[in-house]
Amino acid sequence: MYDVAERSGVSIATVSRVYRNPDSVRAETRDRVLDAARSLGYVPSGNARGLASRTTGVLGLCFPDYADPDAETGAEAEAEAEADDSAVMLYSDQIIRGMERAARRHGYALLIAASLVGGPESLVAKVAGRVDGFAVLAKTVPTEDLEVISRRLPIVMLAGPREIDHLDHIEVANSDGERELARHLIRDHGLRRLAFVGGERESPDAQARFRGYQEACREAGLPVADEPDLRAEMMTQAEGERTADALLDRAAGRERPEAILFANDQMAIGALHALERRGVRVPDDIAVTGFDGIPLSRIVRPSLTTVRQPMRRLGEEAVGLLIHRLADPTRAPVSLMLPVSVTRRSSCGCG
């Protein structure tokens, strides 16, 4: 910048003005500066600018590791590369997309980092130090760290319970969604023997979904279970297979359920495999539902009835909250609940 100033015969202050506020400089001077900058290959330092102005023009997002980045070599990686990418698009991708677009509308860029757990020099810390505010997906960053960081800059927590009261927060209507879904099964398909497969006891999402299920049962005068019929530790496809098998084995001889509601799509898809293996037809013999609306859910056969989470919108709303909080740091913490929508497909008999 000093070089540019010297070469164009002005002071560094004027160079700065040319970039920050072009109109405050005489056109002729401005052109001279711009020319000099070009011929010197000048690129303004975002760091220096950020240091001096105390803003970065960047928003951030921390999301969980969606895949082991070290397992990048060998047959596994090959197989994955061959797979259709659409089938493996993750939540975080959609949130990223939503945030990037919204951020751009407000003139911000987006810094993204999957959080590796780590010491004080974790990626989270790096993100925190380089943005004006950021969003964090639930279960990504230790609450304690967020507590500390949130004293210095706006954070919005996404898609989980509100762990820190004074932070902005967005969640998804898990309970409402599952209730709607169960109602549909009961009312529209006339099913009465339902089973629910939950997740880890600590998963607030899975819990909320179970509550929605309970409500629908209660409304319909069906027996209301205190606990999910089965719990999976991981909510993976493998666990879905296992639990589906277990459920059917348990029902051997007795009447088996007419429908199994899984706490997420992954498990439901695993269950679809197990059922096919056992020769149980879906939806004729038994209905199966998931939750999330992952892309794979529409590709599997039968296509999966599920509850779709508005992940894109989550990202957009997150930026909205961040922008607001940046504009008014004193305003009261906001908590949004985004609506979800039941997606009726083949696995419940709608397809």
Binding site for DNA (CB under 7 A): 1-2, 9-14, 16-17, 19-20, 24-26, 28-30, 42, 44-45, 47-49, 51-54
Which range in 64-72, 237-245, 247-255, 257-265 contacts a second copy by CB under 8 A?
Answer: 64-72
Shortest CB 306 distance to a second copy, Å = 11
**Among 182, 287, 304, 311, which residue interacts with a second copy (rule: CB under 8 A)?**
311
Residue 93 as a binder of a second copy (CB under 8 A): the answer is yes
Question: Angle 12-20/27-40 helices, nearest 10 degrees?
Answer: 100
Who's near 119: CB < 8 A, 6+ residues apart? none
Residue 97 as a binder of a second copy (CB under 8 A): the answer is yes
Shortest CB 328 distance to DNA, Å = 19
Shortest CB 155 distance to DNA, Å = 18
Tokens representing residue 98 in the block:
């939503």
Dihedral sign from CA coordinates of 88, 90, 96, 101 = positive
Closest to 38 (Cα-Cα) out of 18, 67, 11, 13: 18
Nearer residue to DNA within complex by CB, 12 or 337: 12
From DNA, a second copy, none, interface partner of 24 (C-beta below 5 to 8 A by class): DNA
**Among 28, 79, 120, 253, which residue interacts with a second copy (rule: CB under 8 A)?**
120
Residues 10-39 vs a second copy: string with x where CB under 8 A?
A: --------xxx-x-----------x--xx-
Q: Residues 239-251, buried b or exposed e (16+ Cβ, 10 A)? A: bbbbbbbebbeee
Helix extents (H) in 221-328: 237-251, 265-278, 296-299, 311-327
DSSP assignment letter at 27: H
Residue 298 as a binder of a second copy (CB under 8 A): the answer is yes
Residue 174 CB-density burial (10 A; 0-12 exposed, 13-18 middle, 19+ buried): buried
